[in-house]
Structure 1
Amino acid sequence: MMSQSPSGRDPHLTEIQGEGAERITALKWARYLSGTFGSSGALNALRLYAELGWISEGVRQTMTDYVRGLSGGATSTVAGSVDDDLPKELESLAGTPFHQHAKSLEFITTIANESLSHVLASTTLGEDLSGPSDLGDPSDLTGPGE
């Protein structure tokens, strides 16, 4: 049975299976998060995604392990190595504070093998990410130099 997130929704990504492609994409996502937000910001982002119902608690734990397992050298050059273009469904978020989180949603839907359009129909990015949160200072979720 699928457990609901604190948002009351079933998570879009409930598990990261042992399939090679899923694990590789999850590792790329961990590198993206670490390179974009730094280690502590990446962990805060994962907590936010679990709170929003994007990922399950189990996925958050797995991704937390991946982020913590990355060495400083592995994350320092990653931000430029991940394709930063967003799919057409998310293009309107390019250049906004939500761009980096939209990229995470793209990783989530890829790993979950879900349609991004379907997920967007049930997710309100602006309301979810700009609403009150007990995750601390929102500036912790911005990338270096912003």
Structure 2
Amino acid sequence: MSQSPSGREPHLAEIEGEGAERITALKWARYLSGTFGSSGALNALRLYAELGWISEDVRQTMTDYVRGLSGGAASTAPGSVDDELPKELESLSGTPFHQHAKSLEFITVIGNESLSHVLASTTMGEDPLSDSDSDSDPDGPSDLTGPGESV
């Protein structure tokens, strides 16, 4: 399995040839294109690779899908993909992270992973265990939920 630019194993290392995974990946490409536009979708994919959410191989595959959609015939209108977040991510609804949380949902579906498991091991670009000398919160890094909410 290849490592992401973050140095960790990505949550989604490859998009296998299975039909359901490819169909979901195409839906994700449509979502990214419809939400961010073509260049924004490519930037989002680069971010996801840097965060360790996806591998470089997946980024390249998804880049090809997004570029294939940019011809116009296969593009979708915003809102044509179900934009509702699952229960584990609903606290992000209406925030600037909503669209990226939806991408994380696509990543877990394609990778056949539990969203709760991925959330427990996902950081936003920082490795909370890498700095053992810091005066950080002894309960660990803060998560993406609000006060009193759980993931």
Which TM-score band applies after superposition, normalised by the shorter structure?
0.7 to 0.9
In structure 1, distance between residues paired with 2:74 and 2:96: 25
CA RMSD of aligned residues (A): 1.4
- TM-superposed CA distance for 1:75, in Å, is 2.1
The answer for the alignment partner of 2:129 in structure 1 is none
- TM-superposed CA distance for 1:81, in Å, is 1.1
In structure 2, distance between residues paired with 1:28 and 1:15: 16
Question: Is 1:45 matched up with 2:44?
Answer: yes
Percentage of pairs with the same residue: 86
The answer for the alignment partner of 2:100 in structure 1 is 101
Question: Is 1:123 matched up with 2:125?
Answer: no
In structure 1, distance between residues paired with 2:14 and 2:31: 19
- Which AA in structure 2 matches 1:116? L
- TM-superposed CA distance for 1:116, in Å, is 0.2
Matches within 5 A, 1:24-103: 24-70=23-69, 71-77=71-77, 79-103=78-102
Under a length normalisation based on structure 1, what TM-score does the superposition of the two structures give?
Answer: 0.82
- TM-superposed CA distance for 1:3, in Å, is 2.0
Under a length normalisation based on structure 2, what TM-score does the superposition of the two structures give?
Answer: 0.79
- TM-superposed CA distance for 1:76, in Å, is 4.3
**Does the Cα contact within 8 Å between 2:24 and 2:106 map onto a contact in 1?**
yes
SS in structure 2 of the partner of residue 80 of structure 1: coil
- Which AA in structure 2 matches 1:108? I
In structure 2, distance between residues paired with 1:35 and 1:128: 25
- Which AA in structure 1 matches 2:72? G
- TM-superposed CA distance for 1:26, in Å, is 0.2
Q: Which runs of 5+ in 1 are unaligned?
A: 130-146
Question: Is 1:20 matched up with 2:4?
Answer: no
The answer for the alignment partner of 2:7 in structure 1 is 8
In structure 1, distance between residues paired with 2:90 and 2:5: 28
SS in structure 2 of the partner of residue 60 of structure 1: helix
Moved over 4 A (4+): none
The answer for the alignment partner of 1:132 in structure 2 is none
In structure 2, distance between residues paired with 1:76 and 1:6: 30
CA deviations on 1:30-66 (whole Å, 9 max, x unpaired) are: 0000000000000000000000000000000000000
Q: Which runs of 5+ in 2 are unaligned?
A: 127-151
- TM-superposed CA distance for 1:73, in Å, is 4.2
CA deviations on 1:63-104 (whole Å, 9 max, x unpaired) are: 000000012243241x21111110000001000000000000
